[in-house]
């Protein structure tokens, strides 16, 4: 079983739609959680960190459920420019800090 | 600050040739990482370093070697390239004081092995 699992998609949604991605992780000792965005042939870039209390940044909301070991990303009012791959990243701080990436979820927003 | 830079940006090799990929960061970060990304596979960790002079294996280290002689540089070597090493390679770095810190990525090196 892969440590971090995501539905690869693609999620194909119209502009203005609300879309949600989930990610599950297997290491219960994980302490840091992130969502990254990756555009085609580009490096990953941090979208937002994910905190236990949940956090929101504009149209984006991230949630963490430690009991069920999953994190989620909600995108409201989707824009064409949101089309990208969204990577779930999980890390534990015990010993060396090694972030582990999910395979990514592809989002396509169409007019 | 230039952030994280990678050299070269693109390279074509023949099977059996060797090459070195250079990652450089000017942020005085302690931790550095090399990943490879293949279609549908996400980013997989090859090797990483927690400081100057130290390296460790990641998830897919076979066929690669690394060195961290200077804190700002992390080199990835392919001694005898194979077609299976055709991939996009990303380097990343992070400071030592990590709580909810994130990684800073280089722009990637695209490698084609024929």
| pLDDT less than 50: residues of chain A | none
CB contact under 8 A, B43 and A97: no
**pLDDT category, B17, cuts 50, 70, 90?**
very high
- Secondary structure in 3-state letters for chain A: CCCEEECCCCEEEECCCCEEEEEEECCCCCCEEEEEEECCCCCCEEEEECCCCCEEECCEEEEEECCCCEEEEEECCCCHHHCEEEEEEEECCCCCCCCEECCCEEEEEEC
In this predicted model, what pLDDT tens digit does every residue of A37-47 receive, in sequence order?
999 889 999 99
**pLDDT category, B81, cuts 50, 70, 90?**
very high
Is B48 touching A (CB cutoff 8 A)? yes
Residue of B nearest to A86 (CA): B42
CB contact under 8 A, A49 and B94: no
The sign of the CA dihedral B32, A96, B70, B47 is: negative
Residue among B113, B43, B34 at smallest CA distance from A90: B43
Distance from CA of B14 to the nearest CA of A (A): 23
Which phi and psi (to 5°) does residue B14 adopt? -95, 150
Q: Which of B100, B106, B110, B111 to mutate to test the interface with A (most CBs of A within 10 A)?
A: B100
């Amino acid at each position: 079983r892969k440590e971090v699992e995501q539905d690869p998609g693609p999620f194909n949604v119209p502009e203005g739609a609300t879309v949600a991605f989930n990610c599950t992780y297997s290491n219960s000792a994980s302490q840091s959680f992130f969502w990254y965005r990756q555009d085609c042939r580009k490096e990953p870039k941090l979208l937002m960190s994910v905190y236990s209390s949940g956090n929101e940044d504009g149209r984006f909301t991230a949630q963490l459920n430690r009991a069920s070991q999953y994190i989620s990303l909600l995108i409201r009012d989707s824009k064409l420019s949101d089309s990208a791959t969204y990577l779930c990243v999980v890390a534990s701080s015990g010993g060396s800090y090694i972030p582990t990436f999910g395979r990514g979820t592809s989002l396509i927003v169409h007019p | 600050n230039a952030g994280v830079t990678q050299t070269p940006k693109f390279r074509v090799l023949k099977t059996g040739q060797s090459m070195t990929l250079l990652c450089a960061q000017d942020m005085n970060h302690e931790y550095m990482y090399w990943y490879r990304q293949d279609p549908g596979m996400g980013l997989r960790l090859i090797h990483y370093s927690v400081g100057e002079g130290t390296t460790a294996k990641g998830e897919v280290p076979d066929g690669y070697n690394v060195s961290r002689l200077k804190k700002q540089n992390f080199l990835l070597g392919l001694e005898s390239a194979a077609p299976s090493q055709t991939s996009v390679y990303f380097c990343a770095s992070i400071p030592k004081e990590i709580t909810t810190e994130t990684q800073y990525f280089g722009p990637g090196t695209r490698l084609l092995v024929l």
